[in-house]
């Protein structure tokens, strides 16, 4: 049995193994952010799929914080009942259930927020998004901080084991951390300590609202890979400050929509080719913090996970796209089937989501679709 499949402690929690289903937008909530039956069945599969931890796709803490169609919500008490269904099926499958919270900041458009204008730390253009965000006032900052706390309480009330704050991929917390998107001259801008202030206040609000015994994890960019973005040395310092504040674990990611081919979900990863492309960032964080560190990005072979564990790069290993094709991949590996993940890193899975049809593996669908009389297969959803 691989050491990856031994039980591991995460703060007061114990996971059955070190594999994490990294939070992934599925695009299956209803227009108001409420959970649907199809969403529940997806998480039932993931809970039963053998991962030690399953984190739900990002849930917006405020209506203007939504970033995509049919995105989960956690900004209203009416969301709790559906969230409880997700936590229930994940835990029934034997995995720890985590809920990720986010505010998109300037990385959105009013068509996705019900007409609400995007807001951000500063009046700075986000090239991949057409609307210039409004600079947040001190009062707006305080409201969003409180929104994170209220959302965390709802997550706790829904029965999740922990909450994860999304501080990566160019969303609002990351925008405060990055000197390129945070050009404020007040207490929230300038030095790294000031740029960290928003995340520190969010974490404190979450801990106060959800209780000191409710674990808080953070997904953090180890590097933004953009000019004037958050760099590795600053990210390591942020991780150290989070550890001092009792973070349950730090999941190290990297990149934003503006990072080009160095974005969070890199294409063309193959077993043994381009795997674990953020391992150096996780290793840098691991050297400085005492809390568990999770690595995400291009993990395709069980041997890769075992090597990373032995060399001390990370404690937990987060997979996203491979579990869209194979939600039971961890169970397959645990059974002794060592074949690599079937995912080909084409990113075609997200296309149906942007069409409002839900994220799904179109390559798997193509392979499972009967060929026509001419022998030509059809790729669904493209």
Phi, psi of 179 (to 5 degrees): -65, -20
Residue 268: predicted pLDDT: 87
pLDDT band at 270 (very low <50, low <70, confident <90, very high): confident
Strands of the chain, DSSP E:
8-10, 13-15, 19-21, 53-60, 72-73, 96-102, 119-120, 134-135, 162-167, 216-221, 250-253, 293-296, 316-319
DSSP per-residue letters across 286-339: HTT-SS-EEEES----HHHHHHHHHHTS-SEEEESHHHHH-TTHHHHHHTT--P
Q: What is the pLDDT of residues 194-243, one digit of tens each?
A: 999 999 999 999 999 999 899 999 999 999 999 999 999 999 999 999 99
pLDDT exceeds 70 at position 373: no
Residue 113: predicted pLDDT: 93
Angle at 9 between CA 7 and CA 15, to 5 degrees: 50
Indicate the average pLDDT of the chain.
94
pLDDT exceeds 90 at position 76: yes
CATH number for 3-347: choose from 3.20.20.70, 3.30.420.40, 3.40.190.10, 3.30.70.360: 3.20.20.70
Residue 155: predicted pLDDT: 98
Contacts of 261 (CB under 8 A, 6+ apart): 267
Eight-state DSSP code of residue 136: P
pLDDT exceeds 90 at position 189: yes
pLDDT exceeds 90 at position 2: no
Check if 58 is active-site: no
Q: Find out whether 82 and 92 touch, Cβ atoms under 8 Å.
A: no
Residue 370: predicted pLDDT: 66
How far is the C-alpha of 296 from the C-alpha of 273, rounded, in Å?
16
Q: What is the pLDDT of residues 161-184, one digit of tens each?
A: 999 999 999 999 999 999 999 999
How far is the C-alpha of 60 from the C-alpha of 287, rounded, in Å?
32
The one catalytic residue among 2, 43, 58, 171:
171
Q: What is the pLDDT of residues 276-310, one digit of tens each?
A: 999 999 999 999 999 999 999 999 999 999 999 99
Q: What is the pLDDT of residues 11-59, one digit of tens each?
A: 999 999 999 999 999 999 999 999 999 999 999 999 999 999 999 999 9
Residue 371: predicted pLDDT: 54
Q: What is the pLDDT of residues 360-372, one digit of tens each?
A: 999 998 888 765 3
DSSP per-residue letters across 167-209: E-TTSHHHHHH-TTT----STTSSSHHHHHHHHHHHHHHHHHH
Q: Where are the domains of the chain?
A: 3-347, 353-382
Kindly provide the b/e burial profile for residues 115-137, where b requires at least 16 CB atoms within 10 angstroms of the residue's own CB.
eeebbbbbebebeebeeebeebe
Strands of 41-95, DSSP E:
53-60, 72-73
How far is the C-alpha of 306 from the C-alpha of 316, rounded, in Å?
11
Strands 96-102, 53-60: parallel, antiparallel or unpaired by DSSP?
Answer: parallel
Residue 379: predicted pLDDT: 26
How far is the C-alpha of 113 from the C-alpha of 71, rounded, in Å?
10
Angle at 267 between CA 31 and CA 86, to 5 degrees: 35
Distances (CA, A) of 287 to 278, 290, 304, 314, 367: 15, 8, 20, 10, 43
Give the distance between the most distant pair of CA atoms in the chain: 67
Q: What is the pLDDT of residues 131-149, one digit of tens each?
A: 999 999 999 999 999 999 9
The number of CA neighbours under 13 Å toward the Cβ of 212 is 1
Q: Which segment of 143-147, 346-350, 374-378 scores lowest on mean pLDDT?
A: 374-378
Contacts of 139 (CB under 8 A, 6+ apart): none
pLDDT exceeds 60 at position 1: no
Token pair 């070190």: residue: 18
How far is the C-alpha of 346 from the C-alpha of 66, rounded, in Å?
25
pLDDT exceeds 70 at position 265: yes
Distances (CA, A) of 69 to 54, 179, 324, 336, 358: 22, 29, 18, 39, 9
Task: Provide the whole-model pTM.
Answer: 0.95
Angle at 171 between CA 167 and CA 175, to 5 degrees: 85
Q: Which segment of 83-92, 174-183, 263-272 scores lowest on mean pLDDT?
A: 263-272
Residue 365: predicted pLDDT: 87
Residue 367: predicted pLDDT: 87
């Amino acid at each position: 049995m691989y050491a990856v499949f031994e039980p591991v402690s995460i703060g007061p929690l114990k996971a059955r193994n070190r594999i994490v289903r990294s939070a992934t937008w599925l695009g299956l909530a209803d227009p108001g952010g409420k959970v649907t039956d199809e969403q529940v069945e997806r998480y039932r599969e993931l809970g039963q799929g053998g991962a030690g931890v399953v984190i739900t796709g990002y849930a917006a803490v405020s209506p203007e914080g939504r970033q995509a169609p049919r995105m989960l919500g956690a900004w209203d008490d009416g969301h709790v009942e559906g969230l409880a269904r997700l936590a229930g099926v994940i835990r029934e499958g034997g995995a720890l259930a985590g809920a990720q919270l986010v505010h998109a900041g300037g990385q959105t458009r009013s068509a996705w927020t019900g007409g609400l204008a995007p807001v951000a730390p500063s009046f700075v253009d986000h090239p991949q998004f057409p609307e210039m965000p409004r600079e947040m006032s001190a009062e707006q900052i305080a409201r969003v901080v409180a929104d994170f706390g209220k959302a965390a309480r709802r997550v706790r009330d829904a029965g999740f084991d922990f909450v994860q704050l999304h501080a990566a991929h160019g969303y609002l917390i990351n925008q405060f951390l990055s000197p390129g998107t945070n050009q404020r001259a007040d207490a929230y801008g300038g030095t790294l300590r000031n740029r960290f202030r928003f995340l520190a206040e969010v974490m404190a609000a979450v801990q106060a609202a959800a209780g000191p015994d409710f674990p808080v994890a953070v997904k953090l960019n180890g590097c933004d890979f953009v000019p004037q973005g958050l760099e590795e040395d600053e990210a390591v310092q942020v991780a150290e400050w989070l550890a001092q504040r009792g973070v349950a674990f730090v999941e190290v990611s990297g990149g934003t929509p503006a990072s080009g081919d160095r974005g969070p979900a890199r294409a063309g990863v193959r077993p043994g080719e381009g795997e674990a492309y953020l391992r150096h960032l996780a290793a840098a964080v691991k050297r400085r913090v005492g809390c568990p560190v999770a690595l995400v990005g291009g993990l395709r072979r069980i041997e890769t996970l075992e090597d990373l564990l032995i060399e001390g790069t990370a404690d937990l290993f987060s997979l996203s796209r491979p579990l869209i094709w194979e939600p039971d991949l961890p169970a397959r590996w645990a059974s002794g089937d060592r074949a690599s993940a079937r995912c080909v890193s084409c990113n075609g899975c997200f296309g149906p989501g942007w069409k409002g049809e839900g994220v799904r593996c179109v390559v798997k669908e193509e392979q499972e679709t009967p060929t026509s009389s001419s022998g030509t297969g059809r790729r669904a959803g493209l």
